[in-house]
């Protein structure tokens, strides 16, 4: 199937920034507390924020498995169009995996002022057939922190991830906070709808290191517990971060009580 191009509304950082110099690199700290390294602005085509990407760089492809439970904790399959079906159903549009590819080149909608590493992601079935659309968004990786958009889309239940805490770790802190506004187009079809922008505040807490038995083998990870709060309710994220593979396991508790479990399956 021919892949269609789709770019979700991209998160725009606050204009207020603070310039910091560390290890001969300049960093710009947003008013929300995320550090961004100074990019290479020589090209409007190249992905300008790859200088410190030790994990999510264009030589790597990350494959994640994903599981879904509804608010009654029943495991169900999700089709690309958002239908919930029995887990053991055979359906060529049932989502099984998510692929993430950091890009060496930006996309023309993102000029040199876009201070994130652009990455492509798409959903596949168990036979690794692409469901027909690729999505493009961004992440921020440097020596100070790692921040990434979730695998959200307005096409199906993955839209719920926009309300959850984003995967975000600050390496030299045990606690931190972050907040942003979510547009009402992400509320369509959910049990929690709103109008205009909804402010969501997130808190993060490291709980220590654990040994994680992944499909790639045992790995030492930092465990982080995250809580998102807004006027329509609470969301949760528990994730594991590994220095080599980044975010390797993510357990989401959504605004409607449903759950996603997204786990790293392979790296190539």
- pLDDT tens digits along 154-163: 788 998 999 9
Task: List, for residues 106-135, the tens digit of each pLDDT value.
Answer: 664 545 566 788 899 999 999 999 887 899
Put simply, whether the predicted model's pTM sits higher than 0.85 gets the answer yes
Q: Quote the tokens at residue 49.
A: 């924020």
The SS3 assignment for 184 reads: helix
* Positions of the chain with pLDDT under 50: 1-23, 44-45, 108, 110
Are 260 and 156 in contact by the 8 Å Cβ rule? The answer is no
Residue 155, pLDDT score: 80
| Neighbouring-strand partners of residue 201 | 179, 229
CA atoms within 13 A on the CB side of 27: 19
Residue 248, pLDDT score: 98
Burial of 146 (0-12, 13-18, 19+ CB in 10 A): buried
Residue 154, pLDDT score: 74
Q: How far apart are CA 98 and CA 265, in angstroms?
A: 9
Dihedral (CA of 61, 226, 23, 26) sign: positive
Q: How far apart are CA 30 and CA 106, in angstroms?
A: 22
Residue 194, pLDDT score: 84
Residue 212, pLDDT score: 97
Are 54 and 201 in contact by the 8 Å Cβ rule? The answer is no
Residue 67, pLDDT score: 97
Going by C-beta distance under 8 Å and a sequence separation of 6 or more, which residues neighbour residue 71?
256, 257, 258
The residue ranges of every structural domain in the chain are 4-267
CB burial string 236-253: b at 16+ within 10 A, e below: bbbbbbbeebbbbbbebb
Residue 113, pLDDT score: 61
Q: How far apart are CA 125 and CA 115, in angstroms?
A: 32
Residue 185, pLDDT score: 81
């Amino acid at each position: 199937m021919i892949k269609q191009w789709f770019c979700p509304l991209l998160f725009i950082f606050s204009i207020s920034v603070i310039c910091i110099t560390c290890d001969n690199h300049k960093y710009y700290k947003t008013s929300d507390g995320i550090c961004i390294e100074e990019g290479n602005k020589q090209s409007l085509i190249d992905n300008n924020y790859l200088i410190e990407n030790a994990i999510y760089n264009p030589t790597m492809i990350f494959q994640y498995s994903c599981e879904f439970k509804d608010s009654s904790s029943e495991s169900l399959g999700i089709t690309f169009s958002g239908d919930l079906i029995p887990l053991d159903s055979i359906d060529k549009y049932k989502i099984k995996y998510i692929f993430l590819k950091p890009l060496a080149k930006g996309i023309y909608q993102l000029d040199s002022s876009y201070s994130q590493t652009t990455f492509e992601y798409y959903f596949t079935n168990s036979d690794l057939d692409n469901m027909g659309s690729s999505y493009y968004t961004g992440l921020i990786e440097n020596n100070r922190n790692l921040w990434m958009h979730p695998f959200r889309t307005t096409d199906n239940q993955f839209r719920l991830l926009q309300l959850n805490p984003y995967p975000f770790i600050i390496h030299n802190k045990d606690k931190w906070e972050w907040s942003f506004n979510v547009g009402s187009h992400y509320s369509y079809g959910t049990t929690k709808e709103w109008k205009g922008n909804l402010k969501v505040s997130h808190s993060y807490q490291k709980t220590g290191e654990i040994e994680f038995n992944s499909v790639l083998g045992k790995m030492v990870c930092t465990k982080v517990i995250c809580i998102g709060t807004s006027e329509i309710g609470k969301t949760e994220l528990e994730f594991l971060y590994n220095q080599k593979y980044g975010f390797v396991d993510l357990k989401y508790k959504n605004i409607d009580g449903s759950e996603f479990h997204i786990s790293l399956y392979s790296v190539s």
